[in-house]
Chain A
Amino acid sequence: MTSTTTPDSWQSALADLVAGRHSASGDHDDAGAQLVVTDPDGTEVFRAPLARHHRIDSDQPNLLWLRPIVGGSPNPDVPTLYDYNLNVARRRALVWDRVEVGADGAVSFQLAPLGDEEQGQVARVEAADGEELETLSRWDDFVSRLSADDEAELDRLEADSWAGTAYS
């Protein structure tokens, strides 16, 4: 694995994006990150906003854990709020061969090929926009309603499934 930038650089760029520190309004809640994955032929195969946490695996430095926000449905009592199934919005992984930070601040990962693939996918973590930013805001509402313990468990990015009862 190689990096065209220093580990500090890409890691801090990633952390800033996920936390929303690039917010123009000065309030981090108004910004965040999205993950866009493309196949080697350039076809976009995945796009989702990212929850505000990430973790570099302690056993495998080129393994990054993230939580793309997928699913979600209106709360029965307050339809303007959304609930998320935490087994659906589960942690996902990027195993990368190369990483670089673009001029626009986005962090691009050349993912390791799987199986018979000659070349892996490209995963780009960039500033969330449009529908993805709206989804992220709904997710933030949801997380605010979790207990502090549940929120901490999500932040750890260790569980493959969610056994708790709150919004599971």
Chain B
Amino acid sequence: MGTNSKTSHQPYAVAPTATEVAELPAPAGAVGPPPTGTAAELLDMSALGGPVLPPDLQHLVQEKLTSVLEQAAPPAEIGPAPAKGEAAGGELGGGAAGADAEEEEPEEDGPAAEQHVELQSEGAAIPEAELAFELDSAEADAEEEDEPEEEALWTVPVTPPVGVAAGVPALISGHDLVDSTATLISYNTGSDEPREVLLAHLSEDAEGKLLDALDAGEPKLVPIQVEKEVTGRLGMDEQHKLAELVGLAAKGVNGKLKHGEEMTTKTLSQYQAAQKAVGAVLDNPALTDDEKTMAQYYAGHLATIGERMENPKALPYLEGGKIPMVTPYLHTGMATVTEYVPAPPEEGEDDGLLKATKRSASRIKATIDKSTGTTSWDGETRSKANGIEYAIDLGDGYRAVYRPYAGNDPATTEYSMRGQLEIHAPAGAGHGQDLVGRLEQLHLNNRAMKAPEGELTYLHANITAQGLAKNTGVQQALETAHALEDLQVQELFHERAHEAIGLDATELGAFAKRIQLEAAHKVLPKKVTVLRDAVAKATGFADGAALAASSGYDPTPSRSAGWSSWNRFDVTGAPEQFDAAWKGKSLIHNIGKGSLVDVFATGVLASTERRAVMGIGGGLGMSEGADKKTGGANYAFVRVADTSSAGKAGRLIWDNPRTLMQRADYYAYDGDHFGALNPHGGHSTYGQTRDPYKIANFTSGSNEVMLRNGADLYSEQAPTRAIASSAAERNAVLALFASRGITHLNGKPVEDVVIYNGN
């Protein structure tokens, strides 16, 4: 709704049902209790001169509105609730002043800002002529057009860079997506037509909206015959379990070779069983050429195993003595296979829903070029995962894949894949913005995040990071913020109720959704003001204005590889204090010897889950219980160490820990705490802290600092030292940098970053 015209805003000045003033002790002003009327009561507007809906339409709107109210933030318990039937209402701002207040930038705090949330007490005395119903939708639409468009915090790229493994982040408004972030990856295909994909993690609360968009009933499938290239094991191999038996024999012998032990009876039996099975196949006179080749392949492996058994000391285990991996023999050939595809819709069958097919879960099977870090994928090949997913046709060549929370039991399926969403563009470049736009087809927010919402996210991140959630003032502000949105939803409904007349169920759903989105948008600056003021007071600032003016306050996100991160102002605002506390301390990550090139090829220290979508590593194979055991797949780990002794081979070292510790998304333990590392897992989290000053004093060598998603090694989060295991490894890393034109990491020459200590 527009905010430029005081005249057109006057009808908005009062809510039609406001009957009393409610003074509240909210820190940034007063706000009335949210109306407690049910949807049915809110619809009973005849006494107010509002439009009277037919009973059946009232029922439908009631259903939709109830749904909207339930999906909105939980009702705040602020101030005394009005008696039933005494429907309370509130108006945000008063008359023209309120309208003006809405125009103010969130940064403008103080008395003017407080007007944003003051209630007016004109309820019963409201002349009918001033009721909000007077503003028809056309006028409202005109005002929408008048509203100055705020710039998005980040521009969604039209063409994501091809082959960049971590992808490019896109900040999306609202909380449908975890971290409000989607990642756009353009997979190299080896041709001039890359495959562009949007990857995101849906919040569990948003799943209902997405599923409502789908026609996921049992699809009508029709068989088609397809001539295609297939790769797999031969039936003869599977029937006689040759790969399994030969692999088992190798395992048994390797176990003895490694420790210099005698071969046991069991080892010998395993070898003989494999020998017998392969021999039986080779003796089969009806073998095809392919089957014969396969059996000879396994016979070759058995010969190697036999040689090692015969002369176990011929080669040291680490110098060629270990029996190489026995990979299954795979045959590739053309075959006619029957596939089932959804039948085309019959005439009159189109219900406006997206056709979705439920199938076994899978993941994009991308590959990484170790030397360049380029990620590639052909747009089709997928690896199996444990669970189910929906394959969704979005039309125009766009497809989506969604792995739902519902239907994937966290106890038995891969925990971290629940909620994962992929949207695939047709082959070729230039679909970045279209991919984000397609979120709307799935009933998800698709607007790029703008500054006010960014600041709200920043404040929430700081509340978590600085442990402010238990502060009374902050709690009240959070409740007030929730109430403001509820209030706005109800006000807008009263204004627009007449628009519901004549709408069918689908249109009513869209109507309710529009109201919810508009309410969230309208109330955002007020929520920011309320919350900023409370956070300011909780952290020792006079008010929100003082906090906003402070040097450390920067409510803009940082790009970090394919994701976003927000800073904490208690660190960015006190760099000297932080540096003093961390003097002589560094953060380290052990990557193991010989892995520097691999790490810098991708340019990120990535969490396990992030690595999976980059094409590094396959399925995680974790149930919810296993995820808790690992500490969570969404974090990368660093440790606090003394700077003086940190410089061991195979390490990334941050001698300027502030670059990581100013982030708002980490937690830490001064040691390993089993069964407590998943902060949302319902387990004890004893010893967990987000306080960078406590973390600076960690003493255990097993301390852990968990960074959400990971760290971008080519940004200001770059390590200050990377210790190579050999001169050759150092040279290889420097060659990689040279090939990419990288001369400095966070301002430091790469030759000074990559070090070989001679050990």
Interface residues of A (CB under 8 A from B): 19, 25-30, 37, 39, 45-46, 48, 57, 59-60, 63, 68, 70-74, 76-78, 80-88, 90, 92-95, 111-117, 121, 123, 140-141, 144-149, 151-153, 156, 158-165, 167-168
Chain B residue total in the interface (Cβ 8 A): 85
Is there contact, CB below 8 Å, between A116 and B686? yes
Is there contact, CB below 8 Å, between A115 and B689? yes
Q: What residues of chain A lie closer than 8 Å to B259, measured between beta carbons? A: 19, 28
Separation in Å of the A98 CB from the closest CB of chain B? 15
Is there contact, CB below 8 Å, between B684 and A39? yes
Q: What residues of chain A lie closer than 8 Å to B261, measured between beta carbons? A: 28
Is there contact, CB below 8 Å, between B636 and A161? yes
Task: Name 11 interchain pairs, CB-CB below 8 A, sorted by A.
Answer: A48-B629, A73-B620, A77-B327, A92-B674, A95-B672, A113-B686, A148-B322, A158-B650, A160-B637, A163-B592, A165-B370
Is there contact, CB below 8 Å, between B672 and A94? yes
Separation in Å of the B600 CB from the closest CB of chain A? 10
Separation in Å of the B104 CB from the closest CB of chain A? 44
Q: What residues of chain A lie closer than 8 Å to B318, measured between beta carbons? A: 148-149, 152
Is there contact, CB below 8 Å, between A153 and B620? no
Q: What residues of chain B lie closer than 8 Å to A29, measured between beta carbons? A: 251-252, 255, 266
Task: Beyond the given A45-B675, A63-B700, please list 11 additional residue pairs across the A-B interface where CB-CB is below 8 A.
Answer: A28-B259, A45-B674, A46-B674, A81-B244, A87-B608, A90-B630, A114-B673, A144-B247, A147-B324, A160-B589, A163-B599
Is there contact, CB below 8 Å, between B266 and A148? no
Residue of A nearest to B386 (CB): A73
- From A26, A82, A146, A163, give the contact of B595 (CB < 8 A): A163
Within 8 A of A (CB), among B649-691: 650, 669-676, 683-684, 686-689
Is there contact, CB below 8 Å, between B676 and A45? yes
Are A78 and B328 CB-contacts (below 8 A) given A93-B702, A121-B673? yes
Residue of A nearest to B700 (CB): A95
Q: What residues of chain A lie closer than 8 Å to B674, measured between beta carbons? A: 37, 45-46, 92, 121, 123
Is there contact, CB below 8 Å, between B593 and A27? no
Residue of B nearest to A93 (CB): B702
* Interface presence of B321 (CB below 8 A): yes
Within 8 A of A (CB), among B600-647: 605, 608, 611, 616-622, 626, 629-630, 633, 636-639, 645
- From B247, B255, B265, B595, give the contact of A159 (CB < 8 A): B595
Separation in Å of the B230 CB from the closest CB of chain A? 13
The CA-CA distance from A17 to B629 in the complex, in Å, is 22
- From A73, A92, A115, give the contact of B672 (CB < 8 A): A92
- From A30, A114, A168, give the contact of B616 (CB < 8 A): A168
Q: Report, nearest first, the 8 A-B pairs whose CB atoms are least far apart.
A: A45-B675, A115-B687, A114-B687, A159-B592, A93-B702, A73-B621, A163-B595, A144-B251
The CA-CA distance from A157 to B266 in the complex, in Å, is 29
Separation in Å of the A10 CB from the closest CB of chain B? 19
* Interface presence of B598 (CB below 8 A): yes
Residue of A nearest to B618 (CB): A83
Q: Which of the listed residues B323, B594, B618 has the most CB atoms from chain A within 10 Å of its own CB?
A: B618
Separation in Å of the A124 CB from the closest CB of chain B? 11
* Interface presence of B325 (CB below 8 A): yes
Is there contact, CB below 8 Å, between B591 and A85? no
The CA-CA distance from A128 to B43 in the complex, in Å, is 65
* Interface presence of B275 (CB below 8 A): no
Is there contact, CB below 8 Å, between A84 and B689? no
The CA-CA distance from A151 to B250 in the complex, in Å, is 15
The CA-CA distance from A86 to B593 in the complex, in Å, is 15
Is there contact, CB below 8 Å, between B250 and A144? yes
* Interface presence of B7 (CB below 8 A): no
The CA-CA distance from A146 to B383 in the complex, in Å, is 20
Separation in Å of the B759 CB from the closest CB of chain A? 13
Residue of B nearest to A141 (CB): B251
Is there contact, CB below 8 Å, between B255 and A114? no
Residue of A nearest to B596 (CB): A163
Separation in Å of the A140 CB from the closest CB of chain B? 6
Is there contact, CB below 8 Å, between B321 and A71? no
Q: What residues of chain B lie closer than 8 Å to A94, measured between beta carbons? A: 672
Q: What residues of chain B lie closer than 8 Å to A73, measured between beta carbons? A: 384-386, 414, 618-621
- From B265, B324, B385, B590, give the contact of A160 (CB < 8 A): B590
Are A151 and B322 CB-contacts (below 8 A) given A28-B255, A116-B687, A160-B637? yes
